[in-house]
A = this chain, B = another copy of it.
């Protein structure tokens, strides 16, 4: 029997992963994770998957669970309809209380945010944005959340004003693992100079992206391009092309990166090549800070 007695439980439930934190008054007491992502569950599989993960933390009294991510999508456990920009990143009035079979659970799901035009959506990132604002009160500027679908978000006066999503991370994964480029690509490893060259090429001539990609293959065949350099230049090309499109977001603006340390460092390096010094906040810290802010709004964290 574990001795952990949390006040509430924070949950980040994405397409591929389910992560939970047992939260005490001073922060997380324990952490647990499983591969029971929303994409692998049928509708009646959500509650059992959650119970499997957090049952050691449950007790006789009702336990508040505050969740964000794809769990609230139409294909998730229960839809938490999008809020619409401009709006605060989280708003207790739009949180959905979900009924459960297990009486020990008081289940809350945070909504995502949509932008009608240009059409865009986020689900999960709104919680990281709320967390970033909790960790950097008064931040006014641009948040970049690099990942599978990188988000650029204009934040002002505590609200999400506008945002734009780029498929950069998913394109990197597909091209490096599934395309003809995989033959000349390292599974890991890196080359800073090749990354910088890719960023410069992508920024200067973004329209050439599909040709620059094939160049990686051709240079591997006839010019001795190595697999580490090919992988780093691919990343640089895609990020540089993205930076060409997001110039209005970052030029002359305060920018903070919210992501994994490694990916944020790549974006920071690319932005530094353009004279911009971006701050960095770890994505996990922001997720947890956002869920904690929501739990306070819900008055379940006492």
Closest B residue by C-beta to A151: B214
Instruction: For the complex, give the distance between the alpha carbons of A170 and B218 in Å.
Output: 15
Bound form: Cα–Cα A170–B210 in Å: 10
Question: Does chain B have a CB within 8 A of A222?
Answer: yes
Contact segment of A50-58, A111-119, A270-278, A286-294: A111-119
CB of A219 closer than 8 Å to a CB of B: yes
A80 nearest CB across to chain B (Å): 14
Copies, count: 2
Closest chain-B Cβ to A119's Cβ sits at a distance in Å of: 4
Q: Is A157 an interface residue (CB 8 A)?
A: no
A219 nearest CB across to chain B (Å): 4
Closest partner residue, chain B, to A219 (CB atom): B119
Central interface residue in A164, A180, A214, by most chain B CB within 10 Å: A214
- A207→B245 contact, CB < 8 A: yes
Interface with B: A91-99, A127-135, A236-244, A261-269, which one? A236-244
Q: How far is the CB of A292 from chain B (nearest CB, A)?
A: 28
> A168, B222: Cβ atoms under 8 Å?
no
CB within 8 Å of B: which A247-271 residues: none
* Contact in complex: A166, B211 (CB < 8 Å): yes
Contact B180 A170 (CB under 8 A): yes
Q: Kindly list chain B residues whose C-beta atoms are within 8 Å of the C-beta of A206.
A: 206-207, 209
Let me know if A222 and B82 touch, CB within 8 A.
yes
Q: In the complex, what's the smallest C-beta–C-beta distance from A12 to chain B, in angstroms? A: 19
Does residue A215 face the partner (Cβ distance < 8 Å to B)?
yes
As a 0/1 sequence over residues 164 to 186 of chain A, the CB contacts with chain B under 8 angstroms (1 = contact) are 11111011001100111000000
Q: Is A285 an interface residue (CB 8 A)?
A: no
A302 within 8 A of B: no
**A223 adjacent to chain B (CB < 8 Å):** yes
A5 in the interface (beta carbon within 8 A): no
Interface, chain A (partner B; CB < 8 A):
82, 114-116, 118-121, 149-150, 164-168, 170-171, 174-175, 178-180, 205-211, 213-215, 217-219, 221-223, 238, 241-242, 244-245
Task: A114-B222, A210-B241 are known; give 18 further A-B pairs, CB within 8 A.
Answer: A82-B222, A114-B221, A118-B218, A119-B219, A121-B218, A121-B221, A121-B222, A164-B211, A166-B210, A166-B211, A167-B180, A171-B179, A171-B210, A206-B206, A206-B207, A208-B245, A209-B241, A210-B242
